[in-house]
Structure 1
Amino acid sequence: MLTHEVMTAPVVTVPPYATVRQAIRVLHEHDITAAPVARSGGRMVGIVREMDLLRGAFEADPRAFARPVAGRGEAPPRLVSDVMTADVRIACANSDAAALADMMVRTGIKSVPVVADGELIGMVSRRDLIAVLARGDARVHDDVTATLAEYGEQGRWAVTVWDGIVELHGRGDESARRLADAIVRTVPGVTRVAVLDGSGRD
């Protein structure tokens, strides 16, 4: 499964000169947790996340304190360019979605911009990855069967799916087994593949 197959497109972006409050409204209205920051020509210069926008956004409520609350020494950042993250991790459209998911888990990053030929074409969020994994077994079964048919392999293998794990039952040489394994791994929602011979062995 490739990154462009799980991404969300088109991309919601915010300009660097937008105010923090404007960016907050964009994220809230589109129900997203981050947005690339792009200039008018489309060049991405950063990413702004909920955490960036929340930093310094609230004033302390004096009712929560026994003593008066001192005012801030300086005004909170007002523009997206002041709070955005300029060092952005990106993913290529044809990269492995599994590797991207591993990176996101390892680093705690929630959203990653996707580029193709230097152009921003989508975003992958944790929610996108969860949506793929949430596909029902019946849908995964149909997609696997259809994908095998595209490659002329539908008659060779019987397909069973349980909890995203696909088992292919049939007879074929090592080359045919490797081909079937590679084909099925491209199907969104597949978490693991086992290619079994007629005896039920891997």
Structure 2
Amino acid sequence: MLPGTPLLRDRLPQDPRRLVHGHPVEARQAPAEVVARVMTKPVVTVTPGTDLTEVAELMLEHNVRSVPVVHEGHLAGIVTRRDMLRTVTRADWVVEAEIRNRLGMVGGTRRWQVEVTGGKVSIVDKGNGATERHVVDVLVRATAGVTDVEFTTEPVPAGG
């Protein structure tokens, strides 16, 4: 079996639709019985202090979904694609709290009414100033987890 061959491929029956489309029947191989025959080689590892950008680049370069984390010659953990995604996704309430903190520095906490839903930020500008709005737009879009920003001058009524 070649390195990288899926573990289950030879344990499942071949798809009969392959014959209809003229694909040749592949020779069956004995299923792998030991990890060494199916594991990814060479092993790509990182240390706990490795920058997340470097980990992402390694995952893409080596087409792997997880990377072992090694510290002083021992396995310290595993970082997965899901772990990487968690670093860039944030709960709406966390994003909203950070935005409120940032906007408190620009016009005070009473000037801006903020609501975050699914990463989309709705801001009611009670002062209606174009220059301040531009500054706020830049500050809010620079907040991790923000997907879009919308300004209004009137509060959105409850329930609609």
TM range (shorter): 0.3 to 0.5
What is the TM-score when the length of structure 1 is the normalising length?
A: 0.39
Larger RCO (CA under 8 A, 6+ residues apart): 1
What is the TM-score when the length of structure 2 is the normalising length?
A: 0.48
Which has the greater radius of gyration? 2
